[in-house]
Structure 1
């Protein structure tokens, strides 16, 4: 049995759906009952558990042998670094004595030690703590999710504009959740001794201008890019509902993303889903 944390998100659902399509047994860990009918129809089991309930989480982990570990994102209205470290601590404690044979954990490009740098710091700590325990594990360091552009569809349709914190011509490694799902499912099924670090990104590196062009093509209208100047980042995030601490953390993470060295392409798994095809599928799915 494969246990999937974050199974209702873009990446976790892609992992689960890939495994189910291959005839593998899957249990989704969900925070609510709402998704139960959907997953039962697809052939998966669902366990409704709060990830902060370590005892219940360990009980669910004991139902399976392989775990896809995705630390759930915290509400940006909270102190996200604090909340995500709390959920991660519960997950890692629940792994102990769970009977799991292998873990595949979702991390990120640019993971590094540090405080108030968002996922870069929290997920680096996850990697280090997995290395300190005894269950064999693999790490997936994923590029910027193409699904992070989903929220831009509305402004592209209504106003012909998308907004970005990145310089408009800055080429960024991006990856579709479906490609991560394919890689994660493959790692989940491999022998337990097959471990290691895996970088994944899409077939090309893309800029915000490329994103606008992809929206323009599918929407059949001009779409322009509006870059938010760095000195306005925190205020803009606060206006979006971010707490002061979350805005500072996200701002620091964005700065590091702009300055980061990317992994050499010969050490990267290349996905097959292009940005253009991802945006086209997104637009058609909500028509």
Structure 2
């Protein structure tokens, strides 16, 4: 029997991976960082285990209990040096793959992942991809579009008529519900060993922040106007909400890279959850 190991099992993506595998009657070892989250997940064919992703030796022992694993690198603390933190956990998680006995891994990554330094998730997740592949274990990589959950913080200002955005209202941007990423990850965890390489995952269609504003307007019953932060003010806007200087600069560069990206995937794997459905659920609370 194949045991599936899921990192970040208490999060938006990982919890859906656990749910999808459980519905398929597959045994799951759900890895979380707190006893409280473990208690919430435990039950049926799901065993929850508390582990620190910064402890490679302990994580390796967890990996040795299964055959296939979903790997997710947690976001770093943006009030400190988020890039340094993410590179450290990238190394720790992938170091734990050595002598793990795993036969396949599925790695969560992002659109726009690229070599380089200090471009936020685009470079830290590229590092994660490369380290995972270097393990020699068959590696499936799911690059996800901009998460709908990033929009949750905009519900309050939208209720007052303004949608602050780092992108222009008319810019087409691939977006996805993390739950759809979890569904795809569960599918690839169960697929053949030769189902490897990069798959791009986004929602049913591409959206703009104008579409986001219109969705909030429909569900909040008032006009909503997009207010885009000028490029030259991006770093300062991140600092204003608590980012350290180094994290603010990295996120500003990541935003600029996303704005300048023109080579979008032609045939992404499309999820089922629409922007409107997500905003409707968000505004209902």
Report SS of the residue matched to 1:68.
Answer: strand
Q: Deviations over 1:5-45 (max 9, x none)?
A: 11222112222211112221112211111212221257522
Which stretch of structure 1 is more off in the superposition, 25-34 or 99-108? 25-34
Partner residue, 2:268: 268
1:250 aligns with 2:251: yes
Q: Distance in 2 between matches of 1:199 and 1:189?
A: 18
TM-score normalised per structure 1: 0.94
SS of equivalent to 1:198:
strand
Out of 243-252 and 146-155, give the one that drifted further. 146-155
Residue 281 of structure 2 is aligned to residue 281 of structure 1: yes
RMSD: 1.4
Count, aligned residues:
283
Shift of 1:248: 0.3
**Residue 235 and residue 263 in structure 1: after superposition, are their counterparts in 2 closer, same or farther (change >3 A)?**
closer
Note if 1:220 corresponds to 2:215.
Answer: no
8 Å Cα contact 1:109/1:262 also seen in 2: no
- SS of the residue corresponding to residue 35 of structure 2 reads coil
Kept after mapping to 1: 8 A contact 2:26/2:45: no
Q: How does 1:62-77 map to 2 (within 5 A)?
A: 62-77=64-79
Give structure 1 stretches of 5+ with no counterpart.
none
Structure 2 residues without counterparts, runs of 5 or longer: none
- Normalised to the residue count of structure 2, the TM-score between the two structures is 0.95
Q: Residue in 2 aligned with 1:57? A: 59
Q: Which residue of 2 aligns with 1:83?
A: 85
How far, CA to CA, are the matches of 2:176 and 2:138 in structure 1? 26
Whether 2:260 is the aligned partner of 1:259: answer: yes
* Larger mean Cα displacement after TM superposition, 48-57 or 22-31: 22-31
Counterpart position of 2:122: 120
Residues 53-93 of structure 1, C-alpha deviation per residue, up to 9 Å, x if partnerless? Answer: 11111111111111111100011111111110000100011
Question: Which residue of structure 1 aligns with residue 39 of structure 2?
Answer: 37
Query: Contact 2:94–2:135 at 8 Å: present in 1 too?
Result: no
* Aligned equivalent of 2:141, options 139, 146, 150: 139
